[in-house]
Amino acid sequence: MAVAAAATAREVLSGTGSAGFVTGYAEVFRRHPEITSIVHVHTPWLGGWAQTHRTLRIKYAASQRLTLSRDIPPHIDRSQSPGNFILDRLVDDPDLVATFEANGGVNVIGRDGLLELAKFVVLLEEGAQYQALGELVGGTVDFDKTNLVAQWGRSGLLDEARRRGLV
């Protein structure tokens, strides 16, 4: 797994490369102070989904219980910067957890620091694997509302989900 991490608009915490990685997300950090970190990762299963140019619906309970976001959208038009794509997606999905870079990796967005973000990346990777395998044996099925209630109830997100009309 290749990882580079930016935890603020000014500081590279891990990885090498140009400062463009950090400045590319600077506006995201400025406009959304609740976002503490963004990592770009290349993992086998998330990378596989990035190859499809398809939105990945979050259907894995372990990752869904931690967010009200339901989808990981693909960033296909690369004339738009990844940071601006994230900003556009945040308008419609304020809880956005990740975006795919078409034919590349995935940008995962954290709101609780790098350690929690790293744990979440593992859950997203597991979910991408399970969903890819599920596609092979007949397709995956979205959550029943009662399952979302159960998942969000475990993480403390249920009241907010109800307030937004998600369940």
**Angstrom distance (rounded) from CA 127 to CA 7:** 24
Q: How far apart are CA 17 and CA 93, in angstroms?
A: 30
The whole-number pLDDT of residue 15 equals 59
Cα-flanking dihedrals φ and ψ of residue 83, to 5°?
A: -60, -45
Query: Crossing angle for the helix pair 44-52 and 114-136, nearest 10 degrees?
Result: 60
What is the C-alpha separation between 9 and 66, in angstroms, rounded? 25
Residue from 78, 79, 87, 131 nearest 105 by CA: 78
What b-and-e string marks burial along 76-104, b requiring 16 or more CB atoms within 10 Å of the CB? Answer: eeeeeebbebbbebbeeeebbbbbbbeeb
The answer to whether 46 and 58 are in contact (CB under 8 A) is no
Reading the block at residue 131, the tokens are 């969903």
Domain 2-139 sits in CATH at 3.40.225.10
CA distance 150 to 109: 24
- What is the chain's pLDDT, residue by residue, as a tens digit (167 residues)? 444 455 554 555 565 555 555 678 999 999 999 999 999 999 999 999 999 999 999 999 999 999 999 999 999 999 999 999 999 999 999 999 999 999 999 999 999 999 999 999 999 999 999 999 999 999 999 999 999 999 999 999 999 999 999 99
Question: How remote is the C-alpha of 45 from its chain's centroid?
Answer: 14
The predicted pLDDT at position 142 comes to: 95
Query: How high is the pLDDT of residue 130?
Result: 97
Tell me which residue has tokens 């907010």: 160
Phi-psi region of 51 (alpha: psi -120 to 50; beta: other; left: phi over 0): alpha
pTM of the model: 0.87
Q: Where are the domains of the chain?
A: 2-139
